[in-house]
Amino acid sequence: MQSQPILVAGATGKTGSRVVAKLEKMGVPVRRGSRNSAIPFDWEIPATWAPALSGVSKAYVTFFPDLAFPGAVEKLEAFTKVAAASGLEHVVLLSGRGEHHARLGEEVVQGSGIPFTLVRSAWFAQNFSEGYLRDPILAGILPMPGGDIAEPIIDIDDIADVVVAALTEDGHTGEFYEVTGPRMMSFAEMAKVLSATTGRPIQHLPITFEEFHTNVAASGGDFVADVFTAIARETLDGRNAHVTDGVERALGRAPRDFVDFAAAAAALGVWNAAA
């Protein structure tokens, strides 16, 4: 049984919160890494890193809000130096498919001297239920750029299961898991699944990257919109239009289908107007 705590940097995020819940359910001690946790962790305040790593054996690292943000890779490199000095025994990094800066972040971890596992993820299914696309879906539209590009969208619970396995089981050190869902789907096909699941018509609305930027800027500001539009341009060009076996290799089972994700999310009432 794990005796030293595992640091989850980004414990309140989509994947981090799930990793925390799964580890705690297993009885594994967890140090929640967030700005407001008992021992704070903040990417913008390097002085918080060493205290958060003190006495920790392993860590799950996600960079908020994304490795594509200016300075993110440099901060990750500085963090790994602190982590190595603290004696960290294993780090699991989450990165994104087809993203240049994510690859640079992976290279930082690979060269850190710390035993590692890399998890490179496809587009999150939970962007529909917990992210910026929930409100448009409530309005009956799914506005996305990229035209008819298909994506092997993944349920975040699968990512969390892979991360937990890497943190608690032998045999994952040095592994690189590129994780996707089980099949390719266009955004129009996803809209059809959501329509059938919710019982309300939801239509895919093809938009330009400029319109995507405007939508993101309306809620997150121009700086955030600049970064996420650059990521969208980079990744929605067909480079990620293939399925990988990362979930199967890590867990010995197939990833969950988008239909199953949608049914589970609907059962929780996430697409009820008053949710």
Buried b / exposed e over 140-161, threshold 16 CB at 10 Å, is: ebbbbbbeebbbbbbbbbbbbb
Domain boundaries defined on the chain:
6-125+155-179+241-256
pTM exceeds 0.85: yes
Q: What is the mean predicted confidence (pLDDT) over 182-209?
A: 96
DSSP states of 131-200 as a string? STTHHHHHTTEEEESSTT-EE--B-HHHHHHHHHHHHHSTT-TT-EEEE--SS-EEHHHHHHHHHHHHTS
CB atoms within 10 A of CB 253: 10
DSSP-based helix, strand, coil % in the chain, nearest 5: 45, 15, 40
* Mean pLDDT rounded to a whole number for the chain: 94
**Please, which contacts does 27-32 make with residues 24 or more away whose CB atoms are closer than 8 Å?**
27/1, 28/1, 28/2, 28/167, 28/168, 29/2, 29/3, 29/4, 29/5, 30/5, 30/6, 31/5, 31/6, 31/7, 31/56, 32/8
183 CB burial (10 A radius; 0-12, 13-18, 19+): middle
Note the pLDDT tens digit of each residue in 19-61: 999 999 999 999 999 999 999 999 999 999 999 999 999 999 9
Taking only the tens place, the pLDDT of each residue in 64-99 is 888 988 899 999 999 999 999 999 999 999 999 999
Percent of the chain residues past pLDDT 70, beyond the cut? 99
pLDDT of residue 275 exceeding 50, the answer is: no
6-125+155-179+241-256: CATH topology: Rossmann fold (3.40.50)
Query: What integer is the mean pLDDT of 107-136?
Result: 94
Q: Give the pLDDT confidence score for residue 65 in this predicted structure.
A: 81
What phi and psi values does residue 232 have, to the nearest 5 degrees?
-60, -45
